[in-house]
Amino acid sequence: MMRPFIGRARVYVWHTVVCIAVLALILAAVWAVSYALSVHHRHHAERLLQQIAKDSSGRKHCTGDLCSYDFENSFAFTNSGPLRVLRRTEWDYLGLRPWQVTARVETRNGELTDIQFMALVGRGRGWLYNEGLFSGNMWAWLMVSIRANSERFEPGVRLDKEYARENAIRTGNQIEAGSNGILVRKPALDTPGSGETLVVNLSRGAPPESRSVAFDLNLRCATAMSPCTELCQLAPSAWKSYSQFQKSNGWWVDEPADCAAATRH
C-alpha cells in the first residue's frame, strides 16, 4: 500500500519541481529580454542626447519657413500595451522601470531657433499606488527639462535680476551663469505621481561649457540595477549649479549622501 503511494508522491513532487523550474526560466527569459530592450532604447536616447543639435532623423513637420523635428525614446512609459505589466514598481528591484526621453528641435529658414529636451525616469520601490492586478502602479518621477531659446531666455534673466534686487538676494552663480547663457531652477510643483524636477534654460548662444552643464545627464539611471533616487544623480552638473546658488543665499538645500558622489567631478 505504501509503495504505490510513495511512488505517486515522488512523481507529484518531481512534476512540481519541474513546473517551478520552467516557470523560473520563463520569468528569467522575460526579464532578460525586457532589460535588454530597455538598455537598447537607452543607448538610442544617449545618442540622441549627444547629437540633438545635428540629427535630422526625427519626425519632420514644416509650416512655411518653420520646421520642427520630434524625437522620442522610452520603455514601458505608457500605461497600455504588452509592456504595461512592467510598470509595476516591484520590477524596480530588477532594474526595470518606466522612462522616457523626448526632444523637439525647431528651425526657421535653416536657423536653429528652439530646442526642448525632457528626460523622465521612474522612481519606485514597492507599492506606491495599485490600480489592479495587471495595471501599473503609480510611480514617482525624476524629471529634467532643458530648453534653449534666446527669446525666452533673456526675459527670464531680467526678471531674475529684478527679483534679486527687490529681495536683496545674492545673485551668485545664477546671474553669473545667466551671463553665460544658462539658468537652473527647481519648481516647487512636483511631477505627477510625486517626484522632483529640474528646469534648465539656455540661450541660443550659450557657450559649450554651459551646454555641457545642461546636457550632462546620466541616462544610465533608466536601467541601473541600483536605482537613482535623487535629481543630482540624473543631472549632476545642473544640480550642482542649483545647489551652489541656494547655498550662496544661505538657503537650505536637501543634499543626500548620494549627491556628493554624483557631483564630484
Banded model confidence at residue 164, pLDDT cuts 50, 70, 90: low
Residue 256 has pLDDT above 70, yes or no: yes
Give the pLDDT of residue 175: 46
Backbone angles phi, psi at 144, to 5 degrees: -125, 125
The answer to whether 136 and 124 are in contact (CB under 8 A) is no
Closest CA to 219 of 150, 134, 118, 151: 118
Give me the half-sphere count of Cα atoms (radius 13 Å) on the Cβ side of residue 257: 0
Give me the half-sphere count of Cα atoms (radius 13 Å) on the Cβ side of residue 209: 5
Banded model confidence at residue 243, pLDDT cuts 50, 70, 90: confident
Give the pLDDT of residue 190: 60
Can you tell me the distance from the alpha carbon of 126 to that of 98, in angstroms, rounded to the nearest whole number? 14
Among the listed ranges 15-19, 91-95, 161-165, 255-259, which one has the minimum average pLDDT value?
161-165
Question: For residue 20, is it left (φ>0), alpha (ψ between -120 and 50) or beta?
Answer: alpha
